[in-house]
């Protein structure tokens, strides 16, 4: 029993679960009304766009790639929607245009990554700058609001019981993502490519096609998230979702996904999302500023990799010592 427990804790997910329980217990003890449904819905709602994008980012990082452009694509598609709406286009058409902007952005990224063969870090860095630039080109320094009531309601009102539309969408996508990544053939490909691209290629996996599918999906989902964010805010501006990519990548990496690809799981990412949400919520309730919260999450991100490394070092040293002391006659080789 105890051996099982320590074994579970050694695994990343076990450690995250322990951390989550600690954070929740601490918050619940400090703040009355913390464990209410309303607070939890509120907690999810405040970061819902980020955690939706974190799901697809998990695929991409396990694939040993990175997509830095997601936040800019969110801003670009929402701004395009806002711009077209302000020129008099009906709302559904403007939304469709915003969504197709996301698909096009994804095709653009995957062209350079999959066909030209450039590193995704460079391509999506250019995308991070360029798509944000396009958002500013469209709206300059204006802000566009006064969307139809149904659109604002979609982002601001609960749909079923206390739960808003975006949150339902997140849980549906979460189930789909778990099925695809952890239990389907495509998911296996994602892991295999992330482990060793060359080996995957020789084994007949269509490496480029898999990557291109992922990057198109990433930008498309980012566009959906951007439009949801616009609905929640009720207005769009050029700097919408600026800097979100860092939070999103932090969620994935804290979840135990290696930046070098091939390892990690959506379960870990889900736990890390819950930890970050609860931590931020607790810090907000304690009146800590947004900057302070970002700093704390930065520390957590570094520690999440540093501590296991140091623990591994310490273990290796201990094992060496034990090996030396258990030998009665130390041989000199």
Partner 1 sequence: MNAIRRRFQPEQIRELVLLLLIVGIVLFFGTQIENYFSARTFNRISTSVAVIAVVAVGQTLVVLTRNIDLSVGSIVGFTAYVVGTQLTQHNELAPLTVVLMAVGVGAVLGAINGIIVAYGRVPAIITTLGTLAIYRTILVQISGANSVVTNELPQWLIDVPRINVWSFGDLDIRFLFMLAIVVVIVFQLVVSYLPWGRRLYAIGSNPDAARIAGFPAQRIVFMAFVMSGALAGLAGFMFLARFGNITVVAGQGIELESVAAVVVGGVSTNGGIGSPFGAFLGAILIDVLQNSLIRWLAISEFWRDALLGLLILLAVATDTVIMNRLRKLWVPHELQISDSTAVKQGGVDHAG
Catalog residues that contact partner 1 under the rule CB under 8 A: 66, 112, 116-119, 121-123, 125-134, 136-137, 140, 202, 246, 249-250, 253, 259-260, 289, 291-292, 294-299, 301-302, 305-306, 309-310
Rounded to the nearest whole angstrom, what is the least distance from the CB of residue 156 to partner 1 in the complex? 29
Question: For the chain, where are the alpha helices, taking DSSP H only?
Answer: 2-10, 12-30, 37-46, 48-62, 70-86, 91-110, 120-139, 149-156, 165-183, 185-195, 197-202, 207-233, 244-254, 266-285, 290-326
Of residues 105 and 154, the one with the C-beta less far from partner 1 = 105
Question: What is the spatial distance between Cα 297 and Cα 237, in angstroms, rounded to a whole number?
Answer: 26
Question: What is the spatial distance between Cα 226 and Cα 230, in angstroms, rounded to a whole number?
Answer: 6
Rounded to the nearest whole angstrom, what is the least distance from the CB of residue 121 to partner 1 in the complex? 6
Rounded to the nearest whole angstrom, what is the least distance from the CB of residue 137 to partner 1 in the complex? 5
Of residues 19 and 154, the one with the C-beta less far from partner 1 = 19
Contact 281, 306 (CB under 8 A): no
Of residues 59 and 151, the one with the C-beta less far from partner 1 = 59
Write the DSSP string, 58-98.
Answer: HHHHHTT---TTHHHHHHHHHHHHHHHHHTT--HHHHHHHH
Rounded to the nearest whole angstrom, what is the least distance from the CB of residue 78 to partner 1 in the complex? 16
Looking from the CA of 248 toward its CB, the CA atoms found within 13 Å total 31
Rounded to the nearest whole angstrom, what is the least distance from the CB of residue 248 to partner 1 in the complex? 11
> What is the sign of the dihedral through the CA atoms of 101, 107, 109 and 112?
negative
Of residues 9 and 310, the one with the C-beta less far from partner 1 = 310
Of residues 178 and 252, the one with the C-beta less far from partner 1 = 252
Of residues 162 and 295, the one with the C-beta less far from partner 1 = 295
Rounded to the nearest whole angstrom, what is the least distance from the CB of residue 258 to partner 1 in the complex? 8
């Amino acid at each position: 029993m105890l051996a099982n427990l320590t074994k579970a804790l050694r695994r990343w997910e076990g450690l995250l679960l322990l951390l989550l329980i600690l954070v929740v217990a601490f918050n619940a003890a400090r703040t009355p009304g913390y464990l209410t449904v309303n607070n939890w819905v509120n907690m999810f709602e405040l970061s819902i766009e980020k955690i939706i994008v974190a799901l697809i980012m998990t695929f991409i990082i396990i694939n040993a790639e990175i997509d830095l452009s997601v936040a800019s694509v969110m801003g670009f598609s929402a701004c395009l929607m806002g711009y077209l709406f302000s020129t008099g286009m009906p709302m559904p058409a403007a939304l469709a245009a915003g969504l197709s902007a996301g698909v096009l952005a994804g095709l653009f990224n995957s062209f350079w990554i999959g066909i030209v063969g450039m590193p995704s870090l460079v391509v999506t860095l250019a995308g991070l700058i360029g798509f944000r630039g396009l958002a500013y080109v469209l709206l300059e320094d204006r802000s566009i609001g006064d969307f139809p009531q149904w659109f604002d309601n979609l982002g601001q009102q609960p749909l079923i019981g206390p739960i808003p539309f975006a949150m339902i969408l997140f849980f549906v996508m979460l189930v789909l993502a778990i099925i695809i990544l952890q239990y389907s053939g495509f998911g296996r490909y994602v892991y295999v490519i992330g482990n060793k691209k060359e080996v995957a290629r020789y084994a007949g996996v269509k490496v480029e096609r898999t990557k291109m599918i992922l990057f198109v999906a990433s930008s498309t989902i980012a566009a959906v998230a951007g439009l949801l964010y616009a609905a929640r805010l009720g207005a769009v501006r050029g700097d919408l979702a600026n800097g979100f990519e860092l939070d999103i990548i932090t969620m994935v990496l804290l979840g135990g996904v290696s930046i070098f690809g091939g390892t990690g799981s959506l379960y870990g990412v889900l736990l890390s999302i819950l930890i970050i949400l609860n931590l931020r919520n607790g810090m907000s309730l304690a009146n800590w500023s947004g900057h302070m919260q970002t700093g704390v999450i930065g520390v957590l991100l570094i520690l999440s990799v540093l501590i296991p490394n140091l623990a591994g070092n310490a273990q290796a040293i201990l094992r060496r010592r034990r090996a030396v002391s258990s030998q009665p006659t130390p041989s000199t080789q």
